[in-house]
Structure 1
Amino acid sequence: MIQTMHIGDFKARFSDVVELVKKGITIKVVKGKSNDLVGYFGNQSPPKEKIERKLGFFSNSSIDIKKEDLEWTEEDLRDMGL
């Protein structure tokens, strides 16, 4: 369950907020008349949607990039001037 609270109330009632969080309630903190989101306070923030990332320049090529290809030794980095 998510409960919305303005930042002033959140600060003034912080002890109560801690008790609510212990009961499993997530607090959505907002500010201003437009209710701009400040953040979430709770045991676990709401899950974010997983972003599908594209490889960009290499997405249309047959190049296969692996994590091992991106790991360099100190000597490799020195040779590259890094």
Structure 2
Amino acid sequence: MKIMTVGDLKTRFSEVLQEVQAGEEIAVAFGKKKEIVAYLVPKSARKPAKRTLGILANKGKVTFQSDFSMTEEEFLGV
């Protein structure tokens, strides 16, 4: 992983994006202490996050009777 300052990143932005697309991970450092404030990672390295339902999570429940049936036309309202 490379570490770059904000100034270097601004100067070489296009090159940096090409490196990230090639699979390189880059940390962005900022300030006098050169504290890492961000990471640029390739899209392929990201793990898909689980989606949450939000405020309605675990609030409702759906059950269907065993004799329930609906045609596609009824479902689509055609």
Structure-1-length-normalised TM-score? 0.51
User: Aligned-pair RMSD on alpha carbons?
Assistant: 2.4
Task: Work out the number of aligned pairs and report it.
Answer: 50
1:29 match: 28
Cα deviations across residues 7-55 of structure 1 (Å, max 9, x unaligned)?
111111001101111211011001122111210012136x8xxxxxxxx
4+ runs of 1 displaced by more than 2 Å? Answer: none
- Is it true that 1:71 corresponds to 2:59 in the alignment? yes
What percent identity do the matched residue pairs reach?
33
The code of the aligned residue for 1:5 comes to: M
1:36 and 1:72 mapped to 2: Cα distance?
Answer: 46
Structure 1 or 2, whichever has the larger Rg, is: 2
**CA displacement at 1:72 relative to structure 2:** 5.4
Gapped regions of structure 1 (runs ≥ 5): 48-69, 74-82
The code of the aligned residue for 1:71 comes to: K
Structure-2-length-normalised TM-score? 0.53
Gapped regions of structure 2 (runs ≥ 5): 48-57, 62-78
